[in-house]
Structure 1
Amino acid sequence: MSITLTNHDFLEIAPELFSTHSPRKIGNAKVLEEFGNIHFSYFNTGNGIAYGSFDGYFNDEVHLHSWEMEEQSFLYFNAGETLHFKSISDNRTFDIQPKSMMQGFIQKGLRSLGFYEKNKHYSSHSIVISRELVESFSKETMLAHPLSSAQHMFQIDDYAQMMHAQKILLNQIQNKHIFQGKLQELFVESKLLELVYCTFQKPYLHVKENFSLDDYKALHKAKEIVLNNLITPPSLKELSHLCALNEFKLKKGFKVLFGTTVYGMLHAHRLAEAKNLLEHNDMSVQEAALHVGYKSLSHFSKAFKECYGIFPIQLKKERKYFYNTSL
């Protein structure tokens, strides 16, 4: 048996939240508590950009019925389970896979359904952008379809794996609790605007560069090699040889395809692994740093602070505090 809810049920805490013409507002709350354990964070900048994050699960299968009230561009980042989606207006269905991002347009009057399975963990980030803003973007970026030329009520212009830079920014937004009040608001807005900028300025290999399908495969192989060798990574020369791609194409392609350098990705994944160790194990900061390949504790602490907005020792203290208060 399934339960059908509407976007008005879901956004009862702020019914006009995803109207890009609504006033500035930020907050978070548990929603639909009678149906599951669901946390919702939101931020409407008041300047044509609104953000919402969803994290949790439903106790029963849920069909979330949405009816859009205005035309807008959207960015959707899926950090949880596969979401099954149907555009009722266009009679089209598709799946949004984990760690993927989608960019497109919503026409006024779109009716859609999201299918949420029982007890599965769903986690997503949505950004909607006003018609006026996205039309200005289309004049300055590689955005192919301004809103007025959309062929469907729900139009997808890009669907791909999340870029490394997008993952970092989303993670920073999720860790906004390290700030309070207006400082938190300023922090979230700066990261949100950077995320929008990063996404709309994303270059495409098939448009800007002369990369073949074999080059694509080689770059993904290089990424896999790097992530499987966080502690003792190969040099650029060795990596180039292992994936059969010259160093120039390796460096340039990595930056374009993944939004970061080879070593930028390496360090980010080292930090993510270290954060996981500090949050879920009794390792010291120095042990965690060494475990992921950092020889310098000061270098590790500085890099961790730049990535997560908090020093690793502070993270350890917070974990200890929450652990003790739960006894």
Structure 2
Amino acid sequence: MIVKSNEEFRNVLLKMLSFSKNESDNYILYTNKEKPELGYLINYSRKGYYNLDIADYTIPKDFSISFDNPELLVRFGIVYEGVTEFNIENSPVSSFTPSSFFVIEKDIKGRQRWKKGQHFHGIEITIYESYFNEVIKPNFPNIMDLDAFIKNYTYTYLPLEIVEIIRQLQSLSYKNTLTSIYLESKILECIAILINEVTNSPENAFTNQINYGNINIGNRVIKLTASDIQAIQKAHEILEKNYNNPPTIKALSKMVFLNEQKLKAGFSKHYHMSIGEYINHIRMTVAANLISTTDLSIEDIAYKVGYNYCANFSKMFKKIYGKTPLRFRKTK
């Protein structure tokens, strides 16, 4: 049998552990009442969106589970005790030892094995893709792109703030005071911390391994690094502030410490337009706003956005908006 989803994997694992379901108001307790020494698994969930699993159990017999799961899942947590052996398709046999961890799974295939007598103790949060698509992104559209991460790679690292949240959730569970609304607030906090870690700290355990893609320079294919992206974003900020008198490519490359070829190719890939196109875009956007909201002459506006010759400005404006600056003003 090959399981095709995270829910199927959980059900088979619980069956192999000989656990049965015991429902409470806020959680489900899985255990074997006849053999309490085998331990337990406590599950809190918002079905289809996320799970919190707190586990402390002993394997009753040797078994393995084969999986072929197309789902995108974000999983992170802490393993306090236990070593799991697994084999991901097209990869050597690996094992996971006690530590904090973070992984984004997608189209994962392989087999996981357990041995009789092994003891496992840990806590894990699993977030489904639907939670990001249906809850997070509609309200926070600029969230980090999960596709940027290397899939099926286990980072043995979590920010300390998340580690503390996980331990707090575990403590509240043991006191039977963990509510669903509090759990969701902490899951959102974990997501916010992860986003902050990735976007505000260019050199960290996550971003050093994020796939920012490749660029072509001549006959070479070059991988963009976190520091490259940081430099390109800095160049973008400089151009945004100095659109009326932008530095040359040569000067800009020195300002952000990135060679000219990589700067030009990387900027085009990251922002989907060349540096020159971006400068024109921001100049014309500012010009259109000034034409619509002020009584400044077309000549003054052209000068404000960086054109020494009004004719050149008018030609570019018409190319972008399909109208001359004067006609654009009359239609507003």
TM-score, with structure 1 as normaliser: 0.45
| Higher RCO structure (Cα 8 Å, ≥6 apart) | 1
TM-score, with structure 2 as normaliser: 0.44
Higher CA-based Rg: 2
